[in-house]
Amino acid sequence: MLTYAIKRILAIIPILLGVSFLVFSIVYLIPGDPAVKILGQAATDEAVAALREELGLDKPFFVQYGIWLADILTGNLGTSITMRIPVESVLIPKLINTLILTAGSLAVCIIFGVLIGLLAGLKPYSWFDRISMFFAQFGANVPVFWLAIVLMWILSIQLGWLPAFGMYDMRTEGSVLSTLQHLILPSIAAASVSLAVIARLTRSSLIDAFNSDYVKTFRAYGISERKIIFKHAFRNILSPIINMTGLQIGSLIGGALFVEVVFSWPGLGSQIYTSITGQDLPMIQAGVLFIAACFVIVNLINDLLVAFLNPRLKH
């Protein structure tokens, strides 16, 4: 287990290096002088020359990359072009907001995905199973931004049950209850795709488990159905569910990017969206780097968790 963990942790180093290299290259892949790009067309020649020197654009490409990487590792992510303040002071609060939204949608997709999957799988071909699996069919292809709009229209504009914009009320800024209320709709919208995937997987794993020899044996021994479900079958289907949940993190983060734009959630997604519109390159680079790094680390945690739960998967 320990050797596997060390190997797996070491394996993310080249991936993170590759990611950082790709993110660094963004500036150079955009046609035109990066310094002009950063300062805008209206910049004076002196300003451009000064920035070229500051960025080290006269140095060889790989030296520039090395300097940039060293800066990042020491916590210096650059200065926002549009806001003229260090990128990290803007992005870190936004990153926390995105993590709150991702955690919310993760909770929604695990709780409801597993619950729906179990209820459907316990009674295959019942009306509940048919209805939930009909919707789950569409789940994998639902455009998240569209679902967000539909939810917003029905539950906040028509019924007025839940807030439609932002992360908290202006009056009760910072109140946990208010944030939770604001979190519900964006979480559901961002979770939709993964919820459907997890519900389908839970259902099929449970049905497989019920047809397996060990469950038949337990039944023959007269062990109660409840005990078989919760003590034995559920434990066996837990590992594939956790594995699949880990694989869904990317889709949750991607969903969050769209949902943030629709619900004006002040996270990294909205920020990257604004930064692209404003051509704020350091902001885009750092934002993308943050999300990709989170994604790699979450995948690592997931792999370790799966290996820990299922010794057979160690290799």
Partner 1 sequence: MGKVEPVLHPNPVVSDHLVKENKLKQLWTVFKKDKLAVVGLVIIVLVSFVAIFAPFLAPYDPNLSHGSKRLLGIGTPGHLLGVDEQGRDILSRLIWGGRSSLLSAVLPIALMFGVSLILGLVAGYWGGKIGEGIMRLLDVLFAFPTVLLAIVISAIMGAGLVTIMVACCFTMLPYMTRVVYTSTVTEKTKEYVEASKILGATKFQIAFKEVLPNVISDLIVYSTTLIGVAMVLGAGLSFLGLGVQPPTADWGKMTSDGMKVLTIGAPHVATIPGLIILVVATSFNWLGDGLRDVFDPHKRTQ
Binding test (CB under 8 A) with partner 1, winner from 87, 133, 190, 262: 262
Among the listed ranges 51-59, 148-156, 197-205, 228-236, the one in contact with partner 1 (CB under 8 A) is 148-156
Binding test (CB under 8 A) with partner 1, winner from 128, 146, 214, 230: 146
Question: What residues numbered 272-291 form the site for partner 1, per CB under 8 A?
Answer: 272-273, 276-277, 284, 288, 291
Find tokens 């060990």 and name the residue: 214
Q: State which residue, 80 or 118, has the beta carbon closest to partner 1.
A: 80
Q: Tell me 86's DSSP state.
A: B
Instruction: Find out whether 106 and 191 touch, Cβ atoms under 8 Å.
Output: yes
Find tokens 């780097």 and name the residue: 289
- The whole-angstrom separation of Cα 234 and Cα 205 is 9
Binding test (CB under 8 A) with partner 1, winner from 4, 5, 8, 19: 19
Asked whether the CA dihedral 19, 270, 90, 248 is positive or negative, the reply is negative
192 sits near partner 1 (criterion: CB under 8 A): no
- The whole-angstrom separation of Cα 282 and Cα 284 is 6
Q: Which tokens sit at 257?
A: 């990017």
Site size toward partner 1 (CB under 8 A) is 45
- The whole-angstrom separation of Cα 57 and Cα 280 is 18
**Rounded least distance, CB 203 to partner 1, Å:** 16
Footprint on this chain of partner 1 (rule: CB under 8 A): 14-16, 18-19, 22-23, 26, 29-30, 137-138, 140-147, 149-150, 152-153, 157, 249-251, 253-255, 257-258, 261-262, 272-273, 276-277, 284, 288, 291-292, 295-296
